[in-house]
Amino acid sequence: MIIIDHTYDKRCIAYKNKKSDCQCTNKVTKNGFVCGIHKKSKTIISTIEAYYLYWENLKFNNKQRIKLEKFTKFFYGSKISYNLSIYLRKWLNKYKYLDSHFDYCLLGGEDSWKDIPAHRRFFIDESNTWWDLSFLLNHMIQQLNQCSMGSSYPVFPSDPFTRQKYSIILLKKIKKRINYLKWIIPDVLQIFLNATPKKLKSFDNSSKIRKYLDIKLRYKMINQTDSQSNYIGIWVDKLNNYDNFELLYMKFIKMSPYIYQSHRIINNSNRINIKKKMDLIKNDYTDHTQIIML
């Protein structure tokens, strides 16, 4: 793998401005590639990330490898931005190839891989497939938050198609990418990925995963239902207070759907009334499930 050398003169690799052909004379921030003024340049950042993240995954021929090795020399020149766009976009952002081979992996409603930024494209060696990392993470969160008959039933993250469990190596690779991108993920996924390899190997059933999550989290029932109209839940911090919906839900599940009255079995009106109150409560749970992509 090519190692990008940070021992150059620490000059920002961007042009001074959009109309200039001269390299910026400012110093880079920390160990980055750009200065504070150009740090929000999405074009430069995305191409740098693409180069760094995809080198091990893409299959280059010898001619391409030679050219990419020469690419490192461009960090010393004033035409760095131009060369980045020429060399990186040509191979790393080849969305047409992904569209023709991995269009079936676009499960988030996108029409083309062109809609997926380079740094979000993630390759899984085990299945030889490309995925949108944000979709994979949301899928993993749903699996960990899975509910069965009103109780937590976390499932070990697996392939969306084959349901083959992800390997520990892959999980660590996903965690590394998240840390590199500095994304903020829900507590349930963060705690799961922080588990040691030994602990991850021990998660051979749902109860063991649930016991592990129970140490720092609690399962919160929310006003959403599954395909069978059963209420579902999400994992939240233990210090998270019970809301009105949960308090009503605790009463609801303890009440029988039917009661015996006047020598006949009828619907429990008290339970029905509580259900109506529960359905009127509309809470926002995105803080516990969303991924913040910085």
Q: What are the sequence ranges of the domains in the chain?
A: 1-93, 219-287
117 pLDDT band, cuts 50/70/90, is confident
Look at residue 136 and tell me whether its pLDDT is greater than 80.
yes
Question: Three-state SS for 265?
Answer: strand
pLDDT digits (tens, 9 = 90+) for 98-112: 888 899 999 988 999
Q: CA nearest 71: which of 82, 61, 84?
A: 84
Tell me the pTM: 0.71
How many of the other CB atoms lie within 10 Å of CB of 187? 17
pLDDT tops 70 at residue 76 = no
Is the Cβ–Cβ distance between 156 and 164 less than 8 Å? no
Amino acid letter, 177: R
Per-residue pLDDT reduced to its tens digit, 168-225: 999 999 998 898 888 999 999 999 999 999 999 999 999 999 999 999 999 999 999 9
